[in-house]
Amino acid sequence: MRRISRLVAIICIVIFVVFSISCTNPETAVVKKNYFDLTGFLDKEISRLYKDSFIVVKTTSINNSMDQHEMPWTDWRKEFALFYGSDINKSAYAGKYAIDTLEIDSLQRKIVYSSTDSALRTRILEVTYELPENEVTLIYVRNYSHNAMITNSEDLYFESGATYIIKTKRRLVLFGETTFAVKGDLVKKQHDYF
């Protein structure tokens, strides 16, 4: 009986030691990003937009019918949902994008991530940086998907702190083509004091 209790105690100690060694603090774990961190970039932009009280003046076009309105409050995460959905930093996408760096001039650099797999929805992600600060000034995303019933293409532009544009073209086999565009101008909210 003593041998069994001693054996159980040793096994418990070994299990405790193994688990305590293998545990890592999630705050200190660093995840390596294979490509540009679009989600992290958007999260920082959204924090700044809320902090600096930005609103959006939105112009929409559906099949060339235009409308413009000012949105006094914006859920930026919903507003940028298509951008978030275009993030290519997923473990399944590792090695599926070719990376090309272009020096536009002495003040700008563009990094282009091009899909090498035609099954991926996000075909191109271009990130333009302002030098020497290496600040992101422009994001361009080209999404494309196709099946027997529908073809969908999206062009997304995000100019940091200024504007974003979403252009969508959808072709349904039975209903034809629909075009949709949104331009959002980011404007600092004017406070009414009187």
Interstrand relation of 54-62 and 176-188 (parallel, antiparallel or unpaired): antiparallel
Neighbouring residues of 135: CB distance < 8 A, sequence distance ≥ 6? 129, 160
Residue appearing with tokens 């272009």: 102
Residue 173 contacts residue 57 (beta carbons within 8 Å): no
pLDDT of amino acid 26: 47
Mean pLDDT by 10 residues, the chain (194 residues): 58 54 50 87 93 90 90 88 95 94 92 96 97 94 94 96 95 91 89 58
Whole-model pTM?
0.79
- CA distance to 83, 94, 153, per residue, from 180 (Å): 16, 32, 11
For residue 50, the model assigns a pLDDT of 87
Residue 72 pLDDT: 79
Any residues with CB less than 8 A from the CB of 106 and at least 6 apart, and which?
Answer: 131
Q: What pLDDT score was predicted for residue 46?
A: 93
Element (H, E) at 6: helix 2-22
pLDDT score at 6:
62
pLDDT value for 100 = 96
Q: Can you read off the two tokens belonging to residue 48? A: 């700044």
Q: In the chain, at which residue ranges do the beta strands (DSSP E only) sit?
A: 54-62, 65-71, 97-105, 108-115, 122-130, 135-146, 150-159, 163-172, 176-188
Alpha-carbon span 71 to 50, nearest angstrom: 14
Of 41, 37, 60, 38, the C-alpha closest to 49 is 41
pLDDT confidence of residue 28? 45
Enumerate the domain spans of the chain: 34-188
